[in-house]
Amino acid sequence: MNQSIQEDIIKTYQQSLSWYQSFSVQHDDISLDLSHACRSCDYSRLGAPDQPKQLPNGLIYRFDTSFCGKPGWNSLKRMIKNSLPGSDFIESRACRSMSLNSFRYTLHCNRYKCLETKNEKEYNDDGFTQSGVRHEYVKRPKTNGALSTIDAMATKTELRAMKNQTVTSSSKVHRKKRMYPTKRRTKSQRPGLPTEKCNCQISILLWKDSYFYLDARYTNLHHTGHPYIPPTAKKLGSAEISDQQAFILQQLSVIGVQKSKITSLLSAMDDSVGSFSVQTVKNYLNTCDLLKQKELGLDNHMSSA
């Protein structure tokens, strides 16, 4: 590859690591661009309806009054997250602010958490064990959620036989083949240094009148250290499958339609932003088959045979 092309690719990538978050909400059928108001700290040109005559210091917008009190925070948080495309936001613990009757809620970009620093491990010279680790001499069972008890000191053959007859609580996939590890290793996306983390955050204040306000003083809409992720690239899990989609999925599976075509159909008919993966559809269908076998009592018949 040409050297100039390589430099252009690196330059484009470096530029994509710095971008501004768009933040638009619906208020009484009116679309409000809160990102411009947060950067300019000016609410006079916002044109938001149903606003108090005078806002407290630093607060530029009062959200819809249907979100009232602490019980309304979960629904408001869900609405705000859906209005922030390009990155996932996580909530930090709410804290008291300015007075005993006001609370501050903060939504951080998921890249604001740094990697945990690992302490250096000391090993004994006469063996391969860590210092400070207590030896275990008692044979004890190990359970994992709803799984049946598995002997921690059983042989490999016994463990494999027991695990093949169980269903994991995480993926709920019947382990017919031991061709993959039980717990896959994942790579963390957290930055390694505090200087590399993203400081983008949304600050919401629950004021004394039990309404939520957007605080521009502690709101930062500038992302750094990671590129913009289009909403269509988001992968949906089995929890996002609705009842109607589940019915269509099972009917197509009985007919014999390929899993890839079913995935494309679900992604096309889904109203939410994102797409399903083929593995999610496979896991969901396998779970449905296991539940049907359990209801019919076929699993006990197969194990006894």
**Stretch among 62-66, 85-89, 209-213, 292-296 having the lowest mean pLDDT:** 292-296
* Helices and strands (DSSP H and E) totals, the chain: 8, 14
H or E, element range at 80: helix 73-82
Which amino acid, one-letter code, is at 290? Answer: L
pLDDT above 70 (res 298):
no
Q: Which residues contact 233 (CB under 8 A, 6 or more apart)?
A: 274, 275
How large is the average pLDDT for residues 28-56? 80
Residues 221-260: tens digit of each pLDDT: 999 988 998 877 777 777 778 788 888 888 888 888 888 8
Average predicted confidence (pLDDT) for the chain: 77
d(CA 244, CA 287): 17
Q: Evaluate whether 276 touches 266 at the Cβ level (below 8 Å).
A: yes
How large is the average pLDDT for residues 27-40? 84
Residues 45-95: tens digit of each pLDDT: 677 888 888 887 778 899 988 898 889 999 999 999 989 988 889 998 878
